[in-house]
Structure 1
Amino acid sequence: LRRSERNRINLKSPSSESKERSKATMSPKPTSGKEKLETAQPPITLQGTRRIKHSNPYVTKDIRKGESMEIEVASTSRNNNFDCLYEFVFLFAVFAFVLLLIYIRSQLISCILLEQKMRQQNTDMTLKEIRRMKDRFQEILNDVSEQKRTQMTKMMVQEIKNELKKWEEDNVQVKDYALYSLGATIIKDKTSQSLKSDNLHWSFLGILSWPYTSCPEEILKPDVYPGKCWTFPGSQGQVLIKLSAKIIPVAVTLQHISKTISPSKNYSSAPRDFSVFGYEHEFQETGKILGQFTYNPWEALIQSFKLMNDDTSRFQFIQLRILSNWGNEKYTSVYRFQVHQELPVQLRS
């Protein structure tokens, strides 16, 4: 029996022994829940690692730097915070830009309304002056006795009516080739510098402001009322105008406002002596003189002057040179300047 038992043990294969050994290792002894958690993640301390506690107080994790999911979550949340900040800054910039557009639109609307109001006031003042002149003529006619009234010829009465009609209409009554709306422009390279006003300022958001400067294009526009003019420092200046077409200029017209509606209550800033030159092109050094004249606002506010263009030369560039004014040493104001190819009504007689 002993010999047979020994033979049976010796005949057992190595594979069966390894199977039994593996079964023994794969069937662990029963342990408690706490022991399972501790054995599942044994606390190991390594050099260059840090320990992060899990939400479960019985579990701790030792991880290397840069390999933890918690670090990835923190970096993701940090990126989300930066994205939110960028989005807030962008929305704030868009909101500020919209507010700026609204402010600019309101300023433009206020400027347009102010210009319309000033134009209406100028029209009302002109109509009042016309009515006053009509009343004055009517008083003169009423003062004339019946005997003298019968002696007045129909021609004189008609002349008075024509003078009144000239006040109601533009007494020039010919085409203006220096009109801005028809395409006439200012050559600023050969135009005197405009005067910067110390009393009027443009402002931006109530923070930035700069002096208001009148534009020489104002003399090409038909709207004539106080302040809507071109003003240059001193008593001498010049402006080069490109006409809307190449013409044979025969006359020019100069206009100023009445001293009754003028801010200075006088004609000291009105032009006095001036000359007119014709240029065939913009870069011509010297032009042809077409005449030198004197403007007297006490005689008439709108005065036309016949040019000396005997050889009927055609020009598209006309230069106005102001040589003096009526006493203002600081500045000169020009309200309107016209160029004609036909003689105005004033010069036909």
Structure 2
Amino acid sequence: MCDPSRRKLKDRRKQKPLWETILSVFFKNFILLLVLVLLVQMLRKLAFNQMGLLVSSDDYEMRIARMDTFLKTTTKMMQAKVDFVDQNIRNQIDGLKTEICNKVCENGEEFSARLRELDGRVNGVDKCLTKWVSKTEFDKFVDEFKGLVDFGELRLDQVKAFAKDIVEKEIQTHAADGLGMVDYAAASGGAMVVEHSDTNSGMGIFLYKNRVSSNAVKMLQPSFGEPGQCFPLKGDDGFVQVKLRTAIIPEAITLEHVAKSVAFDRSSAPKDCRVFGWLSNKGTMQRQLLTEFVYDLEKSNVQTFNVLDMGVSSIIDTIRLEFTSNHGSPTHTCIYRLRVHGQEPHALSSLALQ
């Protein structure tokens, strides 16, 4: 059985004082209230943050809209300025085009004159090119050089001496004849006039021998540019026939009249001409057309015309110049000088064999 004294002691221990109970209740309620207050504060802050996010999002959208409007406005302004500048440039280009066209139209005559001058210079260069050293002449030059100089002991002074000799020969040739080409119709080389058409009876008394005037030799000699030093033929059509100094392969024909700077009247110059050639020692004479040309008074008084391509086998020793008109004289036609250029067949054969 339990001791009554011990039971009373336990009951005393279980019972607390009143103030302690009240303080305990108050403290617990205070803690609960504090927790509730903190919870409310947290809920309020959370709500405020969500509202701030909504406000910030709206603000960003407004700013983006303003920026888009600004960019569109700026782009329109820039496009307007670009269009203005482009139109201004187009106007200036059109103005320059119009000005240039006007200048071209105003100076058209000057341009045409310059073009004609340029065309004349080109023709002059073309004529000069035809007078360059041919392959045959170059081969001949090399052969002469080989014969005079030993290539094993070639010295610079030998080359200079040989070149000086060539230049002196060319200067002499040009000074004597003016063209730098051999004239196989030169009277000094043995060529002669064998036949011609009627002479002009009003030009003086002529002595004839074998139907050839003694004055006919004038057209195979240098005239030195003196007016009247020519062979006059009657009318505006006629011919002259010349026996060359030797048989050649013809390359060109040169016809000379008095120069414009010293002439009193050049209407007696032949105009439309043809030249035939043949080899006289053949059984039957076969004339071949060498060339046909128009002597132009507006060009040089010494005019050279290339022979038509007849092939290497076409060898001649006689030529016949025929003219069917002159430049206006009804009474006579004057020939100041007639020249024939080419290569001798044996010279070409020796070069071909080498």
| Structure 1 and Structure 2 fold alike (TM over 0.5) | no
With the length of structure 1 as denominator, give the TM-score of the two structures: 0.43
Higher helix share: 2
Higher strand share: 1
Structure index of larger Rg = 2
